[in-house]
């Protein structure tokens, strides 16, 4: 079997030894105003200033297979939320989205805690933590998919990679747009993005949206609102400060999806199995970011910032029952349910400072990043629950319908039962706190060969308070971790480079074992080799970028069920004893022809599996070595093509999209599998007057019945049937 660890090690050594060390170093680079590594896949350039943790590197000299999905590509895909945006990257797969209330995804087969939202960053600030609902794309300039563990710079993060959102900041001009959309299932939405200046030194920008939408799921209606103002002030020629506000409020019915039973199949995708009378779940976000950038010279700059984000999630939910409590497994028609009330709140604070610059030591050129950060995440969770006992072999006719909250999957009658009175289930407060220092040095050995070395030291602690206990009990634990990285990149010519990379990552884990001790951090090791090509260096009529990567990621300290006698005697607890591995190949390409034809393609083959046998942390089912990871397809492909032309001197664009997701495990420790699916979409737009564009979209063109993700066979999220939308946009 091919050993990626050996290949990566050999590649790094070979690249380091492949060129004589006495050649002259490369000359000074331009001021770090445009971050070339942030160039979106659609070819536009973002003028955003230097961003934290990234430095000033061209894509060809970056030893990683990063993707940047720019605003034009997001618009072509009509991606309105983060999950739709990440569908463009084949390296990212959808995971359990908690009834539609948060973003959950895996990168290269690995996700974080299946019971929490996936972590992501906003301008380098951790923003995925918390309970603010799914992230909307309003106010977002680009989405970065930073593959592989990044703990050597970013610190605590998700195991397979990091997603970073780049917000829309003032660009010191007066411009903007207003857009309205309407479509199938009573979908209505308005967006704004407006900016102006105050004098020559202050820029102001405000983005926002309002959405009122029905759904193909009967009775399901959502209402969302968000506003994202920002202001940038240039204090002098080399100094600027930026403040950004995030406020989002969403009202979303809790929707656990459909149920599957062998012999009966899936329950109807149209039937909502919750209770409209429960009302929607209400989520809120209030966030602040403040950044200071100062350019000492063309070679040295400093970036400092603070961020604070409050989130909340509150409401009732009627949910599909599991296993021995689920009547659908008996007759394929009647679904049994239980009831929960949730009240979640979180506060997140982060502060950071980073110095970046370049200097020479003899013939060697160094690009250095050194910094420190501090963060504190305060997480309060209260859950009350009403749940029936086991069916215990009884006939459905003998069950108390109100106890099991029974509903007909094919002819649902809502509001049959009074709202149950739930009892205690979870009541806890958890505080995760950490401080880290990091350093990265990318050394230009020659004008073609660069070596990157770096590392980060983190000291973190957890304070967990069980408020259900009498009296309340608190445990305080701490840990530390060093995360190294080493990379090499060899630029063959002006348009082609080879790279090899090794890195380690870690993620703090919430909760505690049966003795009240904090779990060890989830540890990731990643090995990667790849090649990159800037096609514009070889063709006059083609601009584009291609990346091919082979990778292996190993993960340890995965939470599994603790089946030791002393643990089972205390209840149902977890232990950090699981291990898994992911191997694969990725191909990403973005092409823009002089003829107006554009293509974006992302393909990933991912073989993600457990490498040890353990009982599952949530249900105790046996996971055997070789079992696949949940919701991780072997093959995933995303394709978007468009053709730009003119009719009567008016710009016109037409295009199509395709998404293929392979077969995936749908329930850890069980044989339930989600079927593969392929869906297509069409779009077209025409500028009928200067700045006024009419656009149409059709999604799931052939009305494919498909399922995007699941937590178990009773919580499966169905995809939408054929959906049409039309929009009008006025830009100035």
Structural tokens at position 307:
């961020």
User: Across-strand partners of 320?
Assistant: 337
Other Cβ atoms less than 10 A from the Cβ of 647: the count is 8
Q: Is 13 strand, coil or helix? A: helix
- HSE at residue 499, side-chain half, CA atoms within 13 A, is 28
What pLDDT was estimated at residue 153? 80
Q: Are 137 and 81 in contact (CB under 8 A)?
A: yes
What pLDDT was estimated at residue 50? 65
Rg (CA), the chain: 26
SS (H, E, C) 537-592: HCCCCEEEEEEEEEEEEEEEEEEEECCCHHHHCCCCCEEEEEEEEEEEEEEEEEEE
For 418, which DSSP code? P
Helix (H) or strand (E) holding 167: strand 161-167
Dump pLDDT digits (tens) for 721-731.
999 999 999 99
Query: What percentage of the chain exceeds 90 in pLDDT?
Result: 80
Domain residue ranges in the chain: 4-731
Rounded to whole angstroms, how far apart are CA atoms 399 and 408?
A: 14
- Average pLDDT for residues 530-542, to the nearest whole number? 96
- CA-angle at 507, arms to 532 and 104, nearest 5°: 75
Per-position b or e across 165-192, b if 16+ CB within 10 A of its CB = bbbbbbbbeeebeebebebbeebebebb
What pLDDT was estimated at residue 49? 62
User: Across-strand partners of 699?
Assistant: 723
For 216, which DSSP code? S
User: Across-strand partners of 231?
Assistant: 204, 243
What pLDDT was estimated at residue 519? 87
| Positive/negative CA dihedral, 555, 559, 561, 567 | positive
Dump pLDDT digits (tens) for 667-723.
999 999 999 999 999 999 999 999 999 999 999 999 999 999 999 999 999 999 999
Closest CA to 164 of 63, 37, 258: 37
Q: Is 8 strand, coil or helix? A: helix
Number of DSSP helices (H) and strands (E) in the chain, helices first: 6, 39
Helix (H) or strand (E) holding 15: helix 4-17
Residue 47 pLDDT exceeds 50: no
Q: Is 464 strand, coil or helix? A: strand
Closest CA to 50 of 370, 366, 375, 291: 291
What pLDDT was estimated at residue 516? 77
Q: Are 41 and 600 in contact (CB under 8 A)?
A: yes
User: Across-strand partners of 125?
Assistant: 122
Among 4-18, 127-141, 289-303, 502-516, whose mean pLDDT is lowest? Answer: 4-18
Closest CA to 164 of 238, 243, 63, 53: 53
Question: Is-above-0.85 flag for pTM?
Answer: yes
Token look-up 């309002």 returns 210
Residues 10, 13, 14, 20, Cα dihedral to 10°: -170
Q: Rounded mean pLDDT of the chain?
A: 90
Rounded to whole angstroms, how far apart are CA atoms 164 and 527?
A: 21
**Which CATH number fits the domain 4-731, given the four candidates 3.40.50.300, 3.40.50.10610, 2.40.170.20, 3.30.70.2740?**
2.40.170.20
What pLDDT was estimated at residue 35? 35
More confident residue, 153 or 427: 427
DSSP 63-117: -S--EEEEHHHHHHTT--BHHHHHTT-TTEEE---TTTTS--EEETTB-S-TTSP
What pLDDT was estimated at residue 317? 98
Dump pLDDT digits (tens) for 205-227.
999 999 999 999 999 999 999 99
- Average pLDDT for residues 173-197, to the nearest whole number? 97
Which segments of 467-541 are extended strands (E)?
A: 473-493, 496-507, 522-534
Structural tokens at position 250:
């969403």
DSSP 386-404: E-----TT--GGGS-HHHH
Structural tokens at position 503:
């890195």
- Please confirm whether the linkage preceding 170 is cis (ω < 30° from 0): no
């Amino acid at each position: 079997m091919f050993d990626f660890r050996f290949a990566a090690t050999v590649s790094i050594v070979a690249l380091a030894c492949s060129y004589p060390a006495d050649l002259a170093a490369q000359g000074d680079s331009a001021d770090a105003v445009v971050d070339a590594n942030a160039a979106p896949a659609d070819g536009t350039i973002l003028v955003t200033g230097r961003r934290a943790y990234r430095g000033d590197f061209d894509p060809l000299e970056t030893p990683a297979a990063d993707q940047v999905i720019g605003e034009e590509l997001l618009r072509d895909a009509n991606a309105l939320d983060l999950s739709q945006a990440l569908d463009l990257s084949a390296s990212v797969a959808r995971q359990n989205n908690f009834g539609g209330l948060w973003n959950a995804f895996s990168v290269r087969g690995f996700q974080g805690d299946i019971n929490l939202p996936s972590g992501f960053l906003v301008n380098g600030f951790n923003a995925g933590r918390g309970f603010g609902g799914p992230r909307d794309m309003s106010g977002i300039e680009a989405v970065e998919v930073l593959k592989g563990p990044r703990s050597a710079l970013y610190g605590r993060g998700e195991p397979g990679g990091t997603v970073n959102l780049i917000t829309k900041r003032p660009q010191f001009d007066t411009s903007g747009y207003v857009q309205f959309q309407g479509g199938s299932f009573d979908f209505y939405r308005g967006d704004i993005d407006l900016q102006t200046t105050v004098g020559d030194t202050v820029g102001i920008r405000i983005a926002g949206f309002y959405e009122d939408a029905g759904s193909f799921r009967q009775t399901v209606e959502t209402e969302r609102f968000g506003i994202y103002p920002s202001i940038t002030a240039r204090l002098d020629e080399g100094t600027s400060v930026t403040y950004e506000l995030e406020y989002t409020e969403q009202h979303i019915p809790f929707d656990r999806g459909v149920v599957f039973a062998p012999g009966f199949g899936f329950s109807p995708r149209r039937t909502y199995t919750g209770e409209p009378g429960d009302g929607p779940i209400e989520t809120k976000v209030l966030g602040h970011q403040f950044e200071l950038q100062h350019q000492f010279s063309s070679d040295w700059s400093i970036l400092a910032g603070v961020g604070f984000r409050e989130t909340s999630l509150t409401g009732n939910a009627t949910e599909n029952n599991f296993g021995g409590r689920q009547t659908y497994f008996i007759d394929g028609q009647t679904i049994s349910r239980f009831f929960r009330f949730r009240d979640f709140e979180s506060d997140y604070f982060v502060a950071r400072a980073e110095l970046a610059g370049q200097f020479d030591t003899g013939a060697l050129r160094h690009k250095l990043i050194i910094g420190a950060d501090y963060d504190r995440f305060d997480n309060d969770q209260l859950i009350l629950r009403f749940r029936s006992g086991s069916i215990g072999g009884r006939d459905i006719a003998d069950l108390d319908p109100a106890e099991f909250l029974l509903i007909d999957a094919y002819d649902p009658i809502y509001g049959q039962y009074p709202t149950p009175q739930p009892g205690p289930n979870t009541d806890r407060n958890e505080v995760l706190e950490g401080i880290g220092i990091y350093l990265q040095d990318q050394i230009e050995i020659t004008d073609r060969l660069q070596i990157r070395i770096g590392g980060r030291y983190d000291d973190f602690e957890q304070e967990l308070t069980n408020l259900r206990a009498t009296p309340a009990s608190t445990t305080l634990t701490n840990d530390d971790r060093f995360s190294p990285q080493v990379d090499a990149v060899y630029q063959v010519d002006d348009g082609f480079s080879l790279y090899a990379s090794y890195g380690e990552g870690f993620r703090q884990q919430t909760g505690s074992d049966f003795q009240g001790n904090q779990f060890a951090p989830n540890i990731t090791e990643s090995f990667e080799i790849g090649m990159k090509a800037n096609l514009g260096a070889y063709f006059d009529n083609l601009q584009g970028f291609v990346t091919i990567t082979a990778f292996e990621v190993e993960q340890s300290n995965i939470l599994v069920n603790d089946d030791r006698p002393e643990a089972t005697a205390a209840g149902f607890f977890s232990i950090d004893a699981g291990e898994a591995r992911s191997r694969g190949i990725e191909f990403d390409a973005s092409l823009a022809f002089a003829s107006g034809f554009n293509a974006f393609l992302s393909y990933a083959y991912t073989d993600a599996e457990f490498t040890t046998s353990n009982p599952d942390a949530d249900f105790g089912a046996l996971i055997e070595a070789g079992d696949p990871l949940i919701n991780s397809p072997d093959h995933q492909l995303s394709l978007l093509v468009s053709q730009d032309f003119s009719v009567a001197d008016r710009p016109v664009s037409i295009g199509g999209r395709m998404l293929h997701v392979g077969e995936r495990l749908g329930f850890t420790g069980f044989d339930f599998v989600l079927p593969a699916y392929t869906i297509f979409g069409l779009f077209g737009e025409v500028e009928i007057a200067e700045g006024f564009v009419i656009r149409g979209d059709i999604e799931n063109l052939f009305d494919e019945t498909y399922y995007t993700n699941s937590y178990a066979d009773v919580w499966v999220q169905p995809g939408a049937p054929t959906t049409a939308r039309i929009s009008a946009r006025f830009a100035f």
